[in-house]
Structure 1
Amino acid sequence: MNPSKTGLSFLWLSAVAFIADLATKYLVVTRFALYESIDILPFFNLTYVRNPGAAFSFLANHSGWQKIFFIVLAILISAMLVYFLFKNNAAQKLQNAAYALIIGGALANAADRAYHGFVVDFLDFYWQDWHYPVFNVADIAICVGAGLLALDAIKNGDKKKSEKKA
C-alpha cells in the first residue's frame, strides 16, 4: 500500500505536536524555577510544575513503577495508532488527524518522562481560588485528538446509519 494514500501521510502532525511540546517544555525548564509562576491573564498563569503521574496526577504518589508503565503504555498505544493510520485511507482526515495528534502528544510526554522521570506541566488556568490541573502542549494534542475522534464518530455514525437504511 502506498503510504501517501494511507493515513500515514498524517504523521507530520505527530512530529509537529511532538516538537512543539518538547520545545515549550525546554523553554519552561530553562527559564523557570520549579513552582515559579508568571501571571499572564486574570485567569491564566505560566507555572512550572512536575507531574510524576498521568492525567491529573493519577498514580503520582507511587514508588516509581508508574514511570515505566506510562512509557510502555504510550509506546504501545502509539504503535497501535500507527497501524490504524496504515490501514486508513488518506481521505479519512478527521480520524487520521486525531490519531496523529494523540501519537505526538503521547510520545512527547513519554520522552519527557524517560528523560526527566516526570512530565513538565506549565499551563495553569484558574478562576479565583480554583485551579484546573496544570497541563502542557502534549496534553492539548491528546485532548484535541480525542475530540476529533468523537466528532468523527458522530459524523460517520450518521453516514453508517443512512447507509444501513438504504
Structure 2
Amino acid sequence: MTSDKKTLPLLKESGLRWLWLAGIIFMADISIKLFVMKEMGYGWANRIEVLPFFNFLYVHNYGAAFSFLSDQAGWQRWFFTGIAISVCGLLVYWMRKAPQKDKLNNIAYALIIGGAIGNVFDRLVHGFVVDYLDFYWGNYHWPAFNLADAAICIGAGLIILDGLRSGKKEQ
C-alpha cells in the first residue's frame, strides 16, 4: 500500500502528468493513418487537392523524416524504431524528474513521445510509416509527412523556444 502512496504524488507533481497529451497525439495519428489507408488510393495520382498549396495523399515512408534513408534495404526500420524507443524512454525519465508546472517542456516531451510512438507503431505493424500531408509551392513539394511528424517537430521547436527563453532569463 505504501508504494501506491508514493506513486500517486509522483504522477500529480511530476511532468508525467502530461503523458495524456502523448496518448491523444498517438490515438489521433493512428486513427487518421488507418482512415487514409482504408479510404484513399495509394500514390500521388490519387491525391486530393484541398488548397492551391496543400493535398491529402497516401504514401509510404520506409525511412525517417523527409524520407531519410528510405532507399536502404530494411535495416533502417529497426534502427529508427530503436532510436524512437530510446528517446521516448529518456523523455519519460525527464518528465518524471520535471515538476508538472514546467508546462512548456512537459508539453514538448509529450508531443514528441506521442508522435514517435505513432511512427513506431507504423514501422512495427506495417513496415513503413504512413504519410498523408503534402504541402507545395509551384512544382516544389515539401516531403509528405503526418500528424506524428508534425507533433515531433512542434515539440522540438518548443524545447528550443524554452531554451532561448531560459537563456534570456539567465542574462
TM-score bucket (shorter structure): over 0.9
Cα distance in 2 for partners of 1:151, 1:70 equals: 26
* TM-score, normalising length: structure 1: 0.95
Give 1:29's aligned residue.
Answer: 37
* Secondary structure class of the residue paired with 2:130: strand
Q: Does 1:160 align with 2:166?
A: no
Matched residue type, 1:131: H
Q: Considering only aligned residues, what root-mean-square deviation do their CA atoms show, in Å? A: 0.9
Q: Distance in 2 between matches of 1:61 and 1:134?
A: 16
Could you tell me how far apart the structure 2 residues matched to 1:157 and 1:96 are? 18
Structure 2 Cα separation of the partners of residues 90 and 128 of structure 1 = 45
Matches for 1:105-116 after TM superposition, within 5 Å: 105-116=115-126
Query: Structure 1: which 4+ aligned runs deviate by more than 4 Å?
Result: none
Check conservation: 2:111, 2:154, Cα contact below 8 A.
Answer: yes
For 1:129, give the aligned amino acid.
N
Q: Does 1:120 align with 2:127?
A: no
Q: Hey, what does 2:20 align to over in structure 1?
A: 12
Deviations 1:44-96 (A, max 9, x none): 00011100000111111111011111111111100000000000011111001
Per-residue displacement from partner, 1:92-140 (whole Å, max 9, x unpaired)?
A: 1100100010000011000011111000001000111110100000001
1:104 counterpart residue number: 114
Q: In structure 2, how many angstroms separate the alpha carbons of the residues matched to 1:2 and 1:74? A: 25
Return the alpha-carbon distance in structure 2 between the equivalents of residues 33 and 117 of structure 1.
Answer: 18
Distance between the aligned counterparts of 1:137 and 1:150, measured in 2? 20
TM-score (norm 2): 0.92
**Structure-2 separation of matches of 1:66 and 1:127:** 30
Any gaps of 5 or more consecutive residues in structure 1?
162-166
5+ residue gaps, structure 2, are 1-8
* Alpha-carbon distance in structure 1 between the residues aligned to 2:21 and 2:117: 13
Aligned length: 161
Q: Is 2:160 aligned against 1:150?
A: yes
